[in-house]
Amino acid sequence: MDVTNDFYGAKNPDVDHVVFVHGSVDPWHQVGIYESDLNADAPAIYIEGSSHCADMYEDGDSGVPQSPQLTDARAEIRWVPNQHLCINAQPTFRVKFCAKNKKATFI
């Protein structure tokens, strides 16, 4: 395990443009990055009361009402890649951004 941790950086990998998402009910969260952001381009999102992969479904897909924490986390998860796309956008396309729901759309 030490060799793997040394190779991949354990809980301090040298990465950017990565979103670390964990729920408090997810049994894997203890071995992931969830306590604090690694850097400005690698945020850690911890969802209280959420289970493994719950963030990957759209609100209402499970038929169970979603918690405000899960809904907020999904909005943040969507925002991070869009932020990187906007920062690195080439002038050959434009991005329309809606501040209210933090959504970016290519136009």
Distance CA 99, CA 38 (A): 25
Distance CA 104, CA 28 (A): 31
Give per-residue pLDDT as tens, 56-78. Answer: 777 666 666 678 888 888 888 87
pLDDT above 50 for 100 = yes
Distance CA 26, CA 101 (A): 27
pTM above 0.75, yes or no: no
- Our CA angle for 23, 82, 29, nearest 5°, is 15
Domain residue spans of the chain:
2-54+63-106
pLDDT above 50 for 91 = no
Q: Are 52 and 26 in contact (CB under 8 A)?
A: yes
pLDDT at 52: 77
